[in-house]
Amino acid sequence: MHIAHIVSSMDENYGGAPRMALGLGPALADLGLEISYWASADPRLRENLLNTGPEAHFGRLARPRSWFRSPEMIRELDRQLDEIDLLHLHEVWSYPQWAAARLARRRNKPYVVIPHGELEPWRVKHKGKLKYIKKKGYLSLVGLKFLNKAACLQAGTLREIEGFRASGYRGPATVVPNGIDPELFRHLPDPRLAEEFWPALNGKKVVLFLSRLNSEKGLDQLIPAWAGLKSRAGY
């Protein structure tokens, strides 16, 4: 079985979607599945991204670039679609997912969409009224059509499925939590190295927040939550 991951960009600076796709791919390959990656790419990035492997396909960006539009990538996907059994579309708002879904319907290929939290109500309203209007308009005009034609929508949590329904999606949905490769944590550095670098950590309990400093990541909620937990635990 050949699964094609459709991503707006495979650039590691883009965020969580390409990282998840690249993490999920090897795990599926270990189960005996064939994996490929499909994304748009700025010409200056294409050479750097080719080290993703021969199963990675990158199309040139076309205008409007902010939509990650790449007709070249979709044409190549169309040429190879006979060899693909399932499309896994990462995210909702960009051209690669919309175009790949339209192509899949035309060629009678099933596809699964993983929105990566983009349909949660607060995310839809995030970044101001104009962005909210654009997203609602996109859902009404084209978004809900390709979502409701999906074989399934994949969520990371049960709460995310509530966002699917609030957006108007009525099809099947499933929860598949994000996985972690335990091999990445099998050989960790000696904790004393951190204490040597940050002497203030000596003898302290440490919580690592490894993410962007952005309101959507909830650090403003995590800090007072830890403070409350500390007072209750008597630390």
More confident residue, 28 or 181: 28
Q: What is the pLDDT of residue 229?
A: 80
Q: What is the mean pLDDT of residues 125-143?
A: 89
What's the pLDDT tens digit per position in 18-64?
888 888 888 898 999 999 999 998 766 666 665 666 688 989 999 99
- Look-up of token digits 């990675």: 56
**pLDDT band of 192, cuts 50, 70, 90:** confident
Residue 179 has pLDDT above 60, yes or no: yes
Residue 189 has pLDDT above 60, yes or no: yes
Q: Do 3 and 83 touch, CB atoms closer than 8 A?
A: no
178 Cβ contact partners less than 8 Å away, ≥ 6 residues apart: 20, 156
Q: What is the pLDDT of residue 195?
A: 86
Q: What is the pLDDT of residue 54?
A: 64
Q: Do 4 and 36 touch, CB atoms closer than 8 A?
A: yes
Q: What is the pLDDT of residue 80?
A: 97
Q: What is the pLDDT of residue 48?
A: 60
Q: What is the pLDDT of residue 180?
A: 79
Q: What is the mean pLDDT of residues 113-124?
A: 92
Residue boundaries of the structural domains of the chain: 2-175, 189-233
* CA nearest neighbour of 147 among 85, 177, 105, 107: 105
Q: What is the pLDDT of residue 207?
A: 78
Percent of the chain with pLDDT over 70: 94
3-state secondary structure of 113: strand
**pLDDT band of 146, cuts 50, 70, 90:** very high
Write down the mean pLDDT value for the chain.
Answer: 89
- Look-up of token digits 């997912």: 97
Tokens of 201: 């950590």
Q: What is the pLDDT of residue 227?
A: 81
3-state secondary structure of 18: helix
CATH of domain 2-175: 3.40.50.2000
Q: Which of 81-90, 105-114, 193-202 has the lowest mean pLDDT?
A: 193-202
Q: How many CB atoms lie within 10 A of CB 97?
A: 25
Q: What does the angle CA 86 – CA 87 – CA 91 come to, to the nearest 5 degrees?
A: 150
Q: What is the mean pLDDT of residues 187-214?
A: 84
With both helix axes pointing from N to C terminus, report the angle between 71-80 and 95-106 in degrees, rounded to the nearest 10.
30
Encoded amino acid at 42, one letter: D
**pLDDT band of 125, cuts 50, 70, 90:** confident
Q: Which residues pair with 173 in a beta bridge?
A: 153
Q: How far is Cα 112 from Cα 127, in angstroms, rounded to an integer? A: 27
- Roughly how many angstroms between the first and final C-alpha of the chain, as a whole number? 53
| C-alpha separations of 20 from 48, 152, 197 in Å | 19, 18, 31
Residue 143 has pLDDT above 70, yes or no: yes
Tokens of 183: 């091999």
Handedness of CA 38, 42, 45, 46 (dihedral sign): positive
What's the pLDDT tens digit per position in 96-118?
999 999 999 999 999 999 999 99
* CA nearest neighbour of 173 among 110, 122, 90, 114: 114
Encoded amino acid at 177, one letter: P
